[in-house]
């Protein structure tokens, strides 16, 4: 039996539709105010990193008799220190995260190109090749425009992601409504 995602959306339940609309609006705002969104994203990352560090420290304390206590404490200290540094110096954090994203995309692009040529005998291998080329170009664009792109890049990318998530949720909700509407069904 196949499961249709649209079947999970109740025709009378508007929550999914409203969530999609809210996400779409938030995505548009994030793209319109990329510097604010970038600062928000960097701060959120810093809070998550610091919280994870304290969670790791708590774990280290609770498992101290199992071994590796010193390493667990050092790792949690690294998380906490990095998170606090990002909170104290957000501009430096934005520059670092942007450069890290560019490095990640360049590395991913190279790996995708290698994978594409390994898959070359297979049908549709050019999709992987295209993905690798585009990813490599994006990483290069970030690197060659750094640090000038740092204030707006992360916010723009985050906004685009939220926007497309919202649009896809709206479309799924509308699709679910039309699939459940008996007047749209033909006999």
Residue ranges of domains in the chain: 14-179
CB 109 within 8 A of CB 139: yes
Looking at residue 23, its pLDDT comes to 92
**Which are the contacts of 105, defined by CB distance < 8 A and separation ≥ 6?**
135, 136, 138, 139, 142
Q: In the chain, what percentage of residues exceed pLDDT 90?
A: 47
- For residue 13, what is the DSSP state? -
Looking at residue 186, its pLDDT comes to 53
What radius of gyration, in Å, describes the C-alpha atoms of the chain?
Answer: 22
Looking at residue 15, its pLDDT comes to 86
Sequential DSSP letters for 49-78: HHHHHHHHHHHHHHTGGGS-HHHHHHHHHH
Mean pLDDT within 95-122: 90
pTM above 0.85, yes or no: no
Looking at residue 187, its pLDDT comes to 47
Task: With a cut of 80, say whether residue 121 has pLDDT above it.
Answer: yes
CA 54 distance to own-chain centroid: 23
pLDDT tens-place string over residues 54-96: 999 999 999 988 888 999 999 999 999 999 999 999 999 999 9
């Amino acid at each position: 039996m196949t499961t249709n995602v649209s079947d999970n959306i109740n025709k009378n339940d508007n929550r999914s539709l409203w969530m999609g609309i809210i996400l779409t609006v938030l995505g548009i705002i994030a793209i319109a105010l990329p510097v604010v969104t970038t600062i928000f994203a960097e701060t959120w990352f810093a809070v998550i990193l610091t919280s994870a560090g304290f969670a790791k420290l708590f774990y280290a304390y609770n498992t101290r008799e199992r071994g590796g206590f010193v390493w667990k404490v050092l790792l949690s200290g690294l998380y906490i220190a990095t998170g606090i540094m990002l909170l104290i110096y957000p501009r430096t954090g934005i520059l670092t995260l942007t450069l890290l994203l560019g490095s990640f995309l360049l590395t991913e692009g190279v790996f995708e190109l290698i994978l594409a040529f390994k898959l070359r005998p297979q049908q549709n291998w050019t999709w992987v090749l295209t993905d690798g080329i585009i990813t490599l170009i994006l990483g290069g664009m970030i690197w060659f425009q750094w640090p000038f792109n740092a204030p707006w890049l992360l916010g723009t990318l985050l906004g685009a992601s939220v926007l497309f998530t919202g649009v896809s949720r709206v479309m799924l909700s509308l699709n679910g409504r039309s699939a459940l509407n008996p007047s749209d069904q033909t006999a």
